[in-house]
A and B are shown apart, each in its own frame.
Chain A
Amino acid sequence: EADIYQTPRYLVIGTGKKITLECSQTMGHDKMYWYQQDPGMELHLIHYSYGVNSTEKGDLSSESTVSRIRTEHFPLTLESARPSHTSQYLCASKGQGTEAFFGQGTRLTVV
């Protein structure tokens, strides 16, 4: 079934660890996005990509990095996790149509 998948769904990790949040979509979409969602709801765009080898920073400054080596895959990496990185991270994708589809999210806790 065509969908957008995020792993892991939940992650608790110690300060200073390197982590990668995975995002894959099987819908053939060229555009992909990472949003950080506060407990208070707001969706902050932190990274986006228009296609392979294209990555752009979003409106919210983030210490994370992304890569887009394959169309279907858009992983987000934190080199050294800190408690301030605790949040929910949502991945989304968008094709030639206008609707953006979201993954289930990764809830990250850094202790």
Chain B
Amino acid sequence: GENVEQHPSTLSVQEGDSAVIKCTYSDSASNYFPWYKQELGKRPQLIIDIRSNVGEKKDQRIAVTLNKTAKHFSLHITETQPEDSAVYFCAASKGGSEKLVFGKGTKLTVNP
């Protein structure tokens, strides 16, 4: 089955700096890669996603890149703000199975 590795497990940055979180997946048939943000005490919520037919997607300060050959994808947050502090999860799934497998999560702390 699919296995998703996520790094780093913790990340601390200064406000205004960029943050990058990386994930690798094992199943080359996976074609959908979402990123979820979970604030303390709250439920995970989708912030951005990418399909395998696209190499990069951007939404304001966040962007995701996908390298299908290497089977890895990354989340980039620019101009970080304290409200970006949360746990971020990457995930992978493939059409047909729809089983959503998550990475272990990255706790991002943005220091003011």
Q: Digit string of B88-112 for contact with A (CB within 8 Å is 1, else 0)?
A: 0100000000111110110100000
In contact, A90 and B44 (Cβ under 8 angstroms): yes
Q: Which residues of A contact B (CB under 8 A)?
A: 31, 33, 35, 41-43, 45, 48, 50, 56, 58-59, 90, 92, 94, 98-100, 102-105
Interface residues on B, range: 20 to 34
In contact, B43 and A103 (Cβ under 8 angstroms): yes
CA distance A56 to B51 in the complex (A): 25
Q: Which residues of B contact A56 (CB under 8 A)?
A: 99
Q: A33-B100, A59-B101 known; A99 and B44 CB under 8 Å?
A: no
In contact, B105 and A50 (Cβ under 8 angstroms): no
CA distance A100 to B96 in the complex (A): 15
Counting CB contacts under 8 A, is B46 at the interface? yes
In contact, A43 and B34 (Cβ under 8 angstroms): no
Interface of A is mostly: strand
Q: Which residues of B contact A (CB under 8 A)?
A: 1, 32, 34, 38, 42-46, 49, 51, 87, 89, 98-102, 104-105, 107
Report A46 CB to chain B, min CB distance, Å: 12
Q: Which residue of A lies closest to B87 (CB)?
A: A41
In contact, B43 and A43 (Cβ under 8 angstroms): no
CA distance A25 to B42 in the complex (A): 18
CA distance A100 to B102 in the complex (A): 12
Give the interface centre of B38, B44, B46 by most chain A CB atoms within 10 Å: B44
Q: Which residues of A contact B34 (CB under 8 A)?
A: 98-100
In contact, A31 and B98 (Cβ under 8 angstroms): yes
In contact, B105 and A42 (Cβ under 8 angstroms): yes
